[in-house]
Chain A
Amino acid sequence: MTAVCALRAEWTKLRTLPSTWWMLAAIAGLTLAVGAAVTGSVDTSHCSTPAGCMEDTPKLALSGVQLGQVAAVVLGVLAVGGEYAAGTIGATLAAIPRRSTVLAAKAAVVAAVVAVAGTAGVLASLAVARGLLPGNGFTSANGYPPLSLADGPTARAAFGTVLYLVLVALLALGVGTAVREQAAAITAVLALLWIVPIITRLIASAKWEDRLDKIAPMPAGLAVQATRGLERLPIGPWNGLGVLAAYAAVALLAGGALFTLRDP
């Protein structure tokens, strides 16, 4: 019973904040806008042959998630950091003293809303890309069938991308719970996500690049978007998402432990 009450309370708190709706719109909108812009700007003109391009069109269509995830991070951090900033965390814990219940309810509500917004963004991106790609030379005749969820790898990329967004939001929620300060939590999560893509640009060694891409949350997690050339990936699609899930789990557990042990 407490669990249902906690869920309802968290849902009400999340629902009645304007920032939540802004962030959800940003997840879907940024994913779609950046995905459409990237897809529209890539064509086959610099390929040896259109078929030789080996372009991973579903991945291209979903590349907007690289930006959309930032809104998921902010939403995850705000879900708990906002309560610390406003001081309502005291009232929340007075109503539901079991802290693990509070955190679990927050995680469930955040995961659900991010999943909905992410699904909207992913489906819209795929639909727009389906319209744009043939015009840029990625036609069936050149070996790029129209994007369709009936295609196994494409469906996996789409579903995996939604899961990616959810896991990033949960990672942010965990870090936000542990750190409590919004600014510090957002900076830390964004740095954690982006730091390795930046460092791999510096390191000329392919061996180290592969190693880093295996263990870093963003490159590993986004492996789930790959639909061709899987043997070239440093880590398999689902394994990569598993790496991100491990980060999110550790962050949630650490956040939960600190939440339980500390006074608000």
Chain B
Amino acid sequence: MTVMAPYRSTVEPEARDGFGRLLLAEWTKLRTVPRWMLTLLASVVLMVLVALLSAAGSESTGQGGGSSDPARLQKIDLGHYTYQPLAGDGEIIARVTAQRGGGAWAKAGLMIRGSVERATPYAALMVTPGHGVRLQTGYENGGAGGGTAKAPRWLKLTRSGTAVTGYESPDGRAWQRVGSVRLDKLPENAMAGMFVAVPDEVEVQRQFGGESVSGNPADTGARFDQVSVSPAQPGAAWRDRGAPGGPAADPGVDGRTGSDGTFTLKGTGDIGPNEFADDSTKTTLTGVLIGQAAIVALAVLMVTAEYRRGMLRTTLAASPRRGRLLAAKAIVAGLAALAAGLVASFGSMLLAAPMQRSNGLEPPPLMDGTVLRAVLGTAALLAVIAVFSVAVAVIVRRSAPAITIVLLLLLVPQIIATGLPLSVARWLDRLTPAAGFAIQETVTRFDQAIVPWAGFGVLCAYALAALAAAYWLLRRRDA
């Protein structure tokens, strides 16, 4: 009776097929085909060319410099603001007795800010008809708070150092904290007051097979009473912030009336992000739509070329574990695409900046968080697309259908969407792999289909599902 000894490879450990060696082998295969390296280069060149093209066409359409063009403004700071000086720490209390017009996001409430200059830091506590009581700061959507409270409502905004805290109450006695924000640059002598603001009405008009979306100014009004600022400044008068850059606006829609401690404020325009702003970062990086074609072709060929020439049998003889082979190919394709994407997206931003400047536009700041997310995200996007292409190529095994399928899934939703109603187009941008391009957005626009990271997640989910299918088929099938 003999005992079978388990098989032990006699090959030296360092010569066995470690995963590192597998990666090296895949990289060598990629590196030594001159056409493939040229393809990688082509994708970078295409992306940068599109960026330069769009920068050259990005002339400022506003008169007297780019800043007067509404689409160039990232922040809107309108509405009506009636204020008194507030020296040091203190608080302002008022009751919003009635609110009229403007829809669910009409805003009426209290605001503390350091300057009446447009787009400067502020903290605003407001009551809205449809979204409760909220404490808003900065120029991004949302804000702390919520609920269903409506006018009439008591509001209190207190300043203590750089912290501004908002409270609300149904009766002026039992206060409930809404939230707190820090305004780091708030000067000692700030201002406190009442404001009304309202977002533009988004109007969609369909004609000649296309949709045009425009924002129509809405107007709103609110009545305040029981207003008190403490510490009270003897003899301080209420002042109004004038209409932006000119004479006072139409008194019918903008202004303050009232007496005996009752104020009626009317205003138009919002305080917050400009939902109609141009996303210049995204425009500069749109070349990825064209550059990706080369990346997709390259990643597919890394797999299908081996199938076609029977090379895959050699590869599998050298490295029989198929999951590891798939992982190695996906990693090498992904890293190559990532490297190309980093060069292309940083190159696009850096080379387009001087052209944008000479056209009177301020190029997006590269070190800003959202801009950096878009730039790095573009490279990551290409990497995920490459991994997805590798997986589809393993599933399909032939280059022609694999390239077609991947490009169809990534490109066509965006092209077809242009002729569709906005509501339908949004679903295409949410459910297809094209959702991944949302990572390039730096402005929360009215037509945003999906938030950047969620969109990127959708693409990653497609890539993972394709990888799982590819792994299963690769193990099951003969090469």
Chain A positions within 8 Å of B, measured between CB atoms, are 34, 38, 41-44, 46-48, 52-56, 59-60, 63, 66-67, 70, 73-74, 77-78, 81, 85, 182-184, 186-187, 190-191, 194-195, 197-199, 201-205, 208, 229, 232
Given that A41-B424, A187-B297 are contacting pairs, would A54 and B419 also be in contact in the complex, using a CB cutoff of 8 Å?
Answer: no
Query: Which of A73, A183, A204 touches B58 (beta carbons < 8 Å)?
Result: A204
Chain B positions within 8 Å of A, measured between CB atoms, are 50, 53-54, 57-58, 61, 204-209, 211, 283, 286, 289-290, 293-294, 296-297, 300-301, 304, 308, 398-401, 403-404, 407-408, 411-412, 414-416, 418-421, 424
What is the CB-to-nearest-CB distance from B127 to chain A, in angstroms, rounded to a whole number?
A: 31
CB within 8 Å: A-B pair count: 115
Query: Which of A66, A74, A198, A205 touches B400 (beta carbons < 8 Å)?
Result: A74
Determine if B209 and A183 form an interchain contact, defined as CB atoms under 8 angstroms apart: no
Determine if B399 and A204 form an interchain contact, defined as CB atoms under 8 angstroms apart: no
User: Complex: how many Å from CA A55 to CA B293?
Assistant: 33
Determine if A208 and B57 form an interchain contact, defined as CB atoms under 8 angstroms apart: yes
User: Which residues on the A side are within 8 Å of B301 (C-beta)?
Assistant: 183
User: Which residues on the B side are within 8 Å of A229 (C-beta)?
Assistant: 208
User: Which residues on the A side are within 8 Å of B414 (C-beta)?
Assistant: 198
Which secondary structure characterizes the binding site on chain B? Answer: helix
User: Which residues on the B side are within 8 Å of A85 (C-beta)?
Assistant: 308
What is the CB-to-nearest-CB distance from B69 to chain A, in angstroms, rounded to a whole number?
A: 11
Given that A74-B404, A184-B297 are contacting pairs, would A194 and B283 also be in contact in the complex, using a CB cutoff of 8 Å?
Answer: no
Given that A52-B207, A74-B404 are contacting pairs, would A183 and B300 also be in contact in the complex, using a CB cutoff of 8 Å?
Answer: yes
Closest to B296 in A: A187
User: Which residues on the A side are within 8 Å of B286 (C-beta)?
Assistant: 198, 201-202
User: Which residues on the A side are within 8 Å of B404 (C-beta)?
Assistant: 70, 73-74, 186, 190
User: Complex: how many Å from CA A204 to CA B206?
Assistant: 20
What is the CB-to-nearest-CB distance from B59 to chain A, in angstroms, rounded to a whole number?
A: 8
Query: Which of B211, B308, B416 touches A67 (beta carbons < 8 Å)?
Result: B416
User: Which residues on the B side are within 8 Å of A34 (C-beta)?
Assistant: 416
User: Which residues on the B side are within 8 Å of A54 (C-beta)?
Assistant: 207-209
Closest to B408 in A: A70
User: Which residues on the B side are within 8 Å of A191 (C-beta)?
Assistant: 290, 293
Q: Which 4 residue pairs are nearest across A and B when measured between Cβ atoms? A: A183-B399, A46-B206, A41-B424, A182-B400
What is the CB-to-nearest-CB distance from A165 to chain B, in angstroms, rounded to a whole number?
A: 16
Determine if A186 and B400 form an interchain contact, defined as CB atoms under 8 angstroms apart: yes
What is the CB-to-nearest-CB distance from A108 to chain B, in angstroms, rounded to a whole number?
A: 22
Determine if B290 and A203 form an interchain contact, defined as CB atoms under 8 angstroms apart: no
What is the CB-to-nearest-CB distance from A42 to chain B, in angstroms, rounded to a whole number?
A: 6
User: Complex: how many Å from CA A34 to CA B399?
Assistant: 25
Determine if B400 and A78 form an interchain contact, defined as CB atoms under 8 angstroms apart: yes
User: Which residues on the B side are within 8 Å of A44 (C-beta)?
Assistant: 206
Given that A38-B420, A187-B403 are contacting pairs, would A47 and B58 also be in contact in the complex, using a CB cutoff of 8 Å?
Answer: no
User: Complex: how many Å from CA A184 to CA B304?
Assistant: 13
User: Complex: how many Å from CA A248 to CA B468?
Assistant: 40
User: Complex: how many Å from CA A182 to CA B290?
Assistant: 19
Determine if A203 and B57 form an interchain contact, defined as CB atoms under 8 angstroms apart: yes
What is the CB-to-nearest-CB distance from A135 to chain B, in angstroms, rounded to a whole number?
A: 15
Determine if A66 and B297 form an interchain contact, defined as CB atoms under 8 angstroms apart: no
User: Complex: how many Å from CA A184 to CA B399?
Assistant: 9
Query: Which of B57, B206, B304 touches A183 (beta carbons < 8 Å)?
Result: B304
User: Complex: how many Å from CA A202 to CA B412?
Assistant: 16
Beyond A41-B420, A46-B211, A204-B57, list 8 extra A-B contacts (CB 8 Å). A46-B421, A53-B206, A54-B209, A66-B415, A70-B412, A187-B407, A194-B415, A201-B286
